[in-house]
Amino acid sequence: MPNATPFQTGLRQHRRKLTRGRQVILDIITQATRHLTPAEIYRQARDKYPQLGLTTVYRTLDLLVELGYAQRVHLEESCHSYLIATRAHGHHLVCSTCGRAEEFAECDVNALVRLLESRTGYAIDAHMIELMGKCPNCQTKLRAHNARKK
Amino acid sequence: MPNATPFQTGLRQHRRKLTRGRQVILDIITQATRHLTPAEIYRQARDKYPQLGLTTVYRTLDLLVELGYAQRVHLEESCHSYLIATRAHGHHLVCSTCGRAEEFAECDVNALVRLLESRTGYAIDAHMIELMGKCPNCQTKLRAHNARKK
DNA sequence: TTTGTAATTGAAAACGATTTTCATTTAGAA
DNA sequence: TTCTAAATGAAAATCGTTTTCAATTACAAA
Ligand SMILES: [Mn+2]
Ligand SMILES: [Mn+2]
Ligand SMILES: [Zn+2]
Ligand SMILES: [Zn+2]
């Protein structure tokens, strides 16, 4: 099997199949210079492959992320949770198990901002920094749970 | 008018009214140690104020964010756009006008992570960093547009 | 206190994004 | 070529959010 693409190889390793829809979708996000929503990808994909279903677009994007061929971008709008505001400029450290959150103000992005502005020409005016982990409580519970299981 | 709360004062300054629903919602997120979705807030609020509508919860949260009494947290799940993955560990600088994105790998969070781990006891295992700004193209267009308007 | 009015409300419907279901098709190993 | 697990598309269900609208309410002004 000569000339297998990395995508073909990756799929085979995970016992997944290469289909026309998957190839078309990967091609689209490969060529894009901007982030695309599932609906946008669906519209573009149907030009090349009209019978493609939107469901398959969602499933394929999940697969591409899982296999590392695509990544998600988080945008400002929609799908939020809310926390009381205690500082003007706050970022959060959120427990991925229970949702508990600690606020922090330290964020030293100036050096990074300057570097990227000169590299890309963008005028950077905002940033989003969030850290995820396990809170002390959840760590304790998890340890107890693991001990019991042993 | 003695003893006005900061919330009452803030509302009056913006010519908004203090209602029972608004007070209940602010109380809930004030007492919470975790982030809460609109649906979660709605459920809790109805214990204290059964006739409250979910619509009002959404409207109130927008208001609280606008006035600076609440802030939004972005979570891992739902509401994404997608980009091709070109690096194992990539963050993005996204143009807020056209959506164009540049990937970058520099992210120096180790010092921050250590500081916060010792301060909070969390075991930090992930982070989300995204920068927003205007790409060179959009800056040019914007400048041209402003010049024409003058 | 009463009045006037803009702000606010809740119910219902509309909306948009995402997921589930299920019968059918298909990629690719054997 | 055969066989089967994987994948598919259409439709319906589900979920979060917004819009609409007539009724209510907070509160400034009289
Ligand atoms: Mn910051
Ligand atoms: Mn990083
Ligand atoms: Zn926790
Ligand atoms: Zn742009």
**Pairwise CA distance, residues A64 & A123, whole Å:** 31
> Per the structure, how many domains does chain A have?
2
Which region, left, alpha or beta, applies to residue A99 given φ > 0 means left and ψ of -120 to 50 means alpha? Answer: left
- A59 and A70 in contact (C-beta within 8 Å)? no
Residues B99, B73 share a domain: no
- A71 and A63 in contact (C-beta within 8 Å)? no
Q: Pick the last residue of a domain from A61, A86, A111.
A: A86
Residue B3 has pLDDT above 80, yes or no: no
Residues A93, A59 share a domain: no
Q: What is the pLDDT of residues B13-47, one digit of tens each?
A: 999 999 999 999 999 988 888 888 899 999 999 99
Q: Which of 48-107 (A) contact B at CB < 8 A?
A: 61, 64-65, 68-85, 88, 90, 92-96, 98-102, 104, 106-107
Res B7: pLDDT? 94
Which positions in chain B touch A139 (Cβ < 8 Å)? 121, 123
The pairing of strands B91-95 and B123-134 is parallel
Query: Which residues numbered 55-114 in chain A sit less than 7 A from strand C, measured from CB?
Result: 55, 58, 62
**Pairwise CA distance, residues A143 & B57, whole Å:** 38
**Pairwise CA distance, residues B89 & B107, whole Å:** 9
Residue B86 has pLDDT above 60, yes or no: no
Q: What's the DSSP call for residue A144?
A: H
- B76 and B127 in contact (C-beta within 8 Å)? no
Residues A64, A107 share a domain: no
Residue type, B1: M
Q: Pick the last residue of a domain from A67, A86, A105.
A: A86
Residues B81, B92 share a domain: no
Residues A98, A82 share a domain: no
Residues A32, A19 share a domain: yes
Burial (CB < 10 A; 0-12, 13-18, 19+), residue A48, is middle
Q: How far is CA A56 from CA A37, A70, B132, in A?
A: 14, 15, 30
pLDDT band at B84 (very low <50, low <70, confident <90, very high): low
Residue B63 has pLDDT above 90, yes or no: yes
CATH number for the domain that contains residue B93: 3.30.1490.190
Q: What is the pLDDT of residues A49-89, one digit of tens each?
A: 999 999 999 999 999 989 989 888 776 555 566 666 655 56
Nearest to B104 by CA among A119, A69, A66, A125: A119
Residues B8, B52 share a domain: yes
CATH number for the domain that contains residue B5: 1.10.10.10
**Pairwise CA distance, residues A30 & B94, whole Å:** 17
Residues B67, B9 share a domain: yes
- A67 and A10 in contact (C-beta within 8 Å)? yes
Burial (CB < 10 A; 0-12, 13-18, 19+), residue A27, is middle
pTM higher than the cut 0.75:
yes
Closest nucleotide C1' to the C-alpha of A40? C17
The answer to which of A93-102, B30-39, B87-96 has the lowest mean pLDDT is B87-96
Residues B112, B77 share a domain: no
Residue nearest to nucleotide D28 (CA to C1'): B15
Q: If you average pLDDT over each of A90-94, B50-54, B72-76, which comes out highest? A: B50-54
- B113 and A131 in contact (C-beta within 8 Å)? yes
Residues A67, A141 share a domain: no
Q: Which domain holds residue B28?
A: 1-86
Residues B93, B30 share a domain: no
Are the beta carbons of A127 and B132 separated by less than 8 Å?
yes
- Partners of B93 in beta bridges: B102, B131
Paired tokens of B112 = 């921050």
**Pairwise CA distance, residues B126 & A146, whole Å:** 22
Residues B123, B100 share a domain: yes
Q: Pick the last residue of a domain from B86, B102, B129.
A: B86
